[in-house]
Amino acid sequence: MTLFVAILLLLAGLSEAIGRLLPLVARLSGVSHTRAIWLVVAGAFVDAAVFALWPLSAWTLAELVLPTSTTGQGVLAWTPGLVAPLLLAAILAFPLLGPFLHLLLMVGVGAGLATALVPVAGIGWWEAAGCVAVAGAGLGIAVEGVRRLVARLNRTRAPESFP
């Protein structure tokens, strides 16, 4: 992975974290601005790592589950051409635009990944699309679980009243 691709993934992670975590942090009572910023920065790195793992997870799933032909070679990795739509999807999918647009944009990014996976894994497009979808859904569920855990751990409790 080149430095340029890593920076694009980090920017996509930052945009995703801002869109996902700021509404959550805004609802937490008593969270300082500094702590909120650190939560968003940590979320940016987590989202960037999840984005970076998406093609590798799809390729690994394709190698494990599907019989590959001898034409498959190498490992699927992000390229500037593949990551640019991901960055656009992360920027455009701010919370005000809604989850449907976010899902639609991520399906488009997944279709690009599936097209790139076909020659690498030596499988058909529909099989590649299935591997990309399963890998993306698994990573999405995992990161959503981490978000909910972090929110639960950072929730401040109201002081109890004494009788």
Convert the pLDDT of each residue in 38-73 to its tens digit: 878 888 888 888 888 888 888 888 888 776 554 556
| CA–CA gap between residue 33 and residue 14 (Å, rounded) | 17
Q: Residue 95: what pLDDT?
A: 53
Residue 51 and residue 59: Cα distance in Å, rounded?
14
More confident residue, 19 or 24: 19
Q: How confident is the model at residue 98 (pLDDT cuts 50, 70, 90)?
A: low
Task: Give the residue extent of every domain in the chain.
Answer: 3-154
Q: Which two tokens stand for residue 113?
A: 């990944």
- CA angle centred on 21, ends 19 and 22, rounded to 5°: 75
Calpha distance 79→134 (Å, rounded): 21
Confidence of residue 138 (pLDDT cuts 50, 70, 90): very high
Element (H, E) at 161: none
What is the value of pTM for the model shown? Answer: 0.76
pLDDT value, residue 69: 53
Of residues 81, 76, 51, the one with CA closest to residue 62:
76
